[in-house]
C-alpha cells in the first residue's frame, strides 16, 4: 500500500466540470487505484456515472506514467549505489572529488625552504630608457596641445559668428560704437574658454545694443564720451530701427529653420 500519490494540476479542469458528488466519486476511485492496488478495470466497472468513468480512465493513464517515472528513478539510484556513487559529471561526484583533493593536500608536509633570490642583473639599457622617457614627454606635450588648438579654433569661430551678428546693426548705430560693443563683449574669461557675453544668463542682442546706445548717448551729453559718437537719430527713428532689426533677425531665423528641415 502506498503512503502517497500524485495529483496532476491539469486535472483541475476535469474537477471543475463535475458536480461535488461526481468529484467525490472520482477522487475516491483514484484513491483506490493508487493506495489499495485495485485494478483500474475493476474500479471503472463499479462507476455507474459514465462521465466520471471516462475521466477516471484518462487519469489512470497519467497515474501509470507517474509510477513508471518513479520506478526509473529508483532503479537509477540503485544502479549508482552498486557502482560506488553518482555517475561521472554529476555535481555531487565533482564535489566529492574536490574534497578528496583538498584533504590530501592538507595532509602533505609543507615545504618551508625559501628559494634563493636571483642576483639582480645590471641595467645596460639606461640610454634606451632615457630616450623612451623623452619620447613619452614629447607625446604628452603634443596631447596637451591638441585641446588648446581645438579650443582656440572653436573660440575663433564663435567670435567670428558674434561679429557677423552685429553687421546688420551697422546701419542703425555708429561703427565706432559697434566696434566698442564687440571688443567689450568678446573679451575672454580667465580660463580663455568663453567670451564675456557667453557668461550672461540672458542675452538678446538688439536689447543689449539699445541699452549700450542709450548709455553712450548719456555719456556724450555729460561730456564723458567713452563709447563712440552719438547716433544721428531721433528717439522715434531709433525705436523703429530697433524694431526693424528685430524683424530682420526673426526673418533670418525662420529662413534658417526652413533650410534646416528641408
- Is residue 157 within 8 A of residue 188, CB to CB? The reply is no
Q: What is the 3-state secondary structure (H, E, C) of 20-70?
A: HHHHHHHHHHHHHHHHCCCCHHHHHHCCCCHHHHHHHHHHHHHHHHHHHHH
Alpha-carbon separation of residue 157 from 55, 119, 140, 184 (angstroms): 86, 62, 27, 17
What is the chain's percent helix, strand, coil content, to nearest 5?
Answer: 70, 0, 30
Q: How many residues does the chain have?
A: 262
- Is residue 46 within 8 A of residue 54, CB to CB? The reply is no
pLDDT digits (tens, 9 = 90+) for 17-54: 889 988 898 888 888 877 877 788 888 888 888 888 89
Of 231, 195, 199, 194, which Cα lies nearest the Cα of 212? Answer: 231
Residue 65 has pLDDT above 70, yes or no: yes
Percent of the residues in the chain that have a pLDDT greater than 70, as a whole number: 63
Return the C-alpha torsion angle 15, 19, 23, 29, nearest 10.
Answer: -120
Alpha helices in 167-224 (DSSP H): 175-185, 205-221
Residue 170 has pLDDT above 80, yes or no: yes
Alpha-carbon separation of residue 4 from 33, 138, 183 (angstroms): 12, 83, 96
Instruction: Evaluate the CA torsion angle 88, 93, 98, 99 in order and state its sign.
Output: negative
Query: Which is more confident, 5 or 47?
Result: 47
* Alpha-carbon span 153 to 150, nearest angstrom: 5
Query: Which is more confident, 221 or 179?
Result: 179
Helix axes 205-221, 126-166, angle to 10 degrees: 70
Q: Reduced to 3 states, what is the DSSP secondary structure of residue 138?
A: helix
* Alpha-carbon span 234 to 219, nearest angstrom: 17
Instruction: Evaluate the CA torsion angle 158, 161, 167, 173 in order and state its sign.
Output: negative
Model confidence at 248, pLDDT cuts 50, 70, 90, reads confident
Lowest mean pLDDT among 26-40, 168-182, 224-238: 224-238
Model confidence at 202, pLDDT cuts 50, 70, 90, reads very high
pLDDT given at position 258 = 72
Model confidence at 227, pLDDT cuts 50, 70, 90, reads very low
Amino acid at each position: 500500500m502506498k503512503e502517497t500519490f500524485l495529483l496532476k494540476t491539469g486535472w483541475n479542469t476535469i474537477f471543475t466540470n463535475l458536480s461535488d458528488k461526481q468529484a467525490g466519486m472520482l477522487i475516491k476511485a483514484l484513491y483506490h487505484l493508487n493506495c489499495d492496488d485495485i485494478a483500474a478495470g475493476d474500479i471503472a466497472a463499479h462507476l455507474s456515472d459514465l462521465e466520471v468513468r471516462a475521466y477516471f480512465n484518462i487519469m489512470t493513464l497519467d497515474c501509470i506514467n507517474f509510477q513508471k517515472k518513479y520506478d526509473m528513478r529508483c532503479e537509477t539510484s540503485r544502479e549508482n549505489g552498486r557502482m560506488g556513487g553518482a555517475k561521472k559529471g554529476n555535481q555531487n561526484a565533482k564535489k566529492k572529488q574536490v574534497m578528496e583533493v583538498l584533504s590530501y593536500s592538507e595532509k602533505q608536509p609543507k615545504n618551508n625552504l625559501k628559494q634563493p633570490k636571483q642576483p639582480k642583473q645590471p641595467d645596460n639599457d639606461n640610454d634606451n630608457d632615457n630616450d623612451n622617457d623623452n619620447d613619452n614627454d614629447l607625446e604628452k606635450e603634443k596631447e596637451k596641445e591638441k585641446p588648446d588648438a581645438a579650443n582656440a579654433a572653436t573660440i575663433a569661430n564663435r567670435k567670428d559668428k558674434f561679429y557677423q551678428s552685429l553687421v546688420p546693426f551697422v546701419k542703425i548705430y555708429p561703427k565706432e560704437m559697434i566696434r566698442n560693443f564687440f571688443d567689450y563683449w568678446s573679451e575672454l574669461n580667465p580660463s580663455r574658454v568663453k567670451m564675456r557675453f557667453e557668461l550672461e544668463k540672458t542675452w538678446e542682442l538688439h536689447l543689449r545694443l539699445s541699452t549700450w546706445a542709450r548709455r553712450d548717448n548719456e555719456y556724450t551729453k555729460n561730456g564723458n564720451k567713452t563709447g563712440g559718437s552719438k547716433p544721428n537719430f531721433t528717439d522715434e527713428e531709433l525705436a523703429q530701427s530697433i524694431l526693424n532689426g528685430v524683424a530682420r533677425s526673426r526673418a533670418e531665423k525662420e529662413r534658417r529653420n526652413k533650410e534646416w528641415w528641408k
